[in-house]
Amino acid sequence: MNTVTKFIAIPLGSLLYFLYSFIDNYGITLIVFTVIVRLCLFPLYANQIKHTSKMQDLQPKMVAIQKKYANDKETMNQKMQELYQEEKFNPMLGCLPMLIQFPIIIGLFALLRNPTLYIDNSSMLMAVHESFLWIPDLSQPDSWILPIAAGITTYFSFSMTQSQSTSENAANPMMKMMKYFFPVMIVWMGRSFPAGLTIYWFIGNLIQVFQTIALNKLKKKAKEEKEDSKKKGKK
C-alpha cells in the first residue's frame, strides 16, 4: 500500500464512516461525502480559475512581447519577467492547486475503489454492498447509466475548464481531442469501477460545473464593475 495514498485515504475513510454512522445509507453518504470534499477543495479550484483568468488577461501583452523580441530570447525573457512583476503575476502558482489536489484525488480513488481496505470497521463490509436507486450492489459496476452520466458531466466540466485556458492552449489540437476522448474513457472505465466510485465522479463533476458557472458570473460582474469605474474615472 502506497504510503502517501494511505496517509490521505485513511482520514477520508474516517470521514466517510462518520457520515455513514449518521446517515445509515451508503449511497446518500457518498453524495454527502462528495459535496463536503468538493467544498473543501473549492478554494484551490477557485484559485486555479483566478490564475488562468489572469493569464488570459495578460495573453495579448505576452504575445506582443514574443513577436517584438522573437529573435532575441534573452531580452524577451527579461521583458516577460518585467511584465510578471508589473502585474504581480507568478506563472508557477498556477500549478500549485493541481499539485495539491492530485494526491487527494489518488487517495479518494483508492478509498472508494476499496473502502474496507482503509476503514477498520466491520459495518462497512456490509455498507459497501448496499443497494441504491436502481443499483443492486454499490461495490459492483453499473453497466451504463452511471458511467454515461459521469461521461456527460466530465465533458461539460472539461469543456468549461478548457474555455478558461489561454487561447493558445484552447486551440491546441490535442486539447480539442481530449475534450471528447476523456469523457469516452471515463464511460469505459466507469463500466468496470465500483458504482460507489462512479457516483463520486458524477456528483463531483456536477458540482464543479455549477461552481464554474458561479465563478464565471462573479468574474463577469467584477469585469463589468472594473470597466464602469474606468469610464467614470475618464469622465
User: Which residues are 132's β-sheet partners?
Assistant: 135
How much is the pTM?
0.77
d(CA 109, CA 186): 13
Of the spans 66-70, 165-169, 206-210, 227-231, which averages the highest pLDDT?
206-210
User: Which residues are 135's β-sheet partners?
Assistant: 132
* Range with the poorest average pLDDT among 53-57, 107-111, 202-206: 53-57
Average pLDDT, rounded, for the chain: 80
SS (H, E, C) the chain: CCHHHHHHHHHHHHHHHHHHHHHCCHHHHHHHHHHHHHHHHHHHHHHHHHHHHHHHHHHHHHHHHHHHCCCCHHHHHHHHHHHHHHHCCCHHHHCHHHHHHHHHHHHHHHHHHCHHHCCCCCHHHHHCCCCECCECCCCCCCCCHHHHHHHHHHHHHHHHHHHCCCHHHHCCHHHHHHHHHHHHHHHHHHCCCCHHHHHHHHHHHHHHHHHHHHHHHHHHHHHHHHHHHHHHHHC
d(CA 116, CA 126): 10
Residue 177 Ramachandran class (φ > 0 left, ψ -120 to 50 alpha, else beta):
alpha
d(CA 27, CA 233): 55
Is the alpha carbon torsion for 78, 80, 85, 89 positive or negative? Answer: negative
Q: What is the mean pLDDT of residues 2-23?
A: 85
What pLDDT shows up at residue 147? 93
pLDDT tens digits for range 163-186:
665 544 555 677 677 778 888 988
pLDDT tens digits for range 101-153:
677 778 888 888 888 888 877 788 888 888 888 999 888 889 899 999 999 99
CB 130 within 8 A of CB 26: yes
pLDDT tens digits for range 63-78:
888 888 777 788 888 8
Q: How far is CA 221 from CA 21, 40, 225, 226, 227, in A?
A: 42, 24, 6, 9, 10
d(CA 80, CA 116): 51
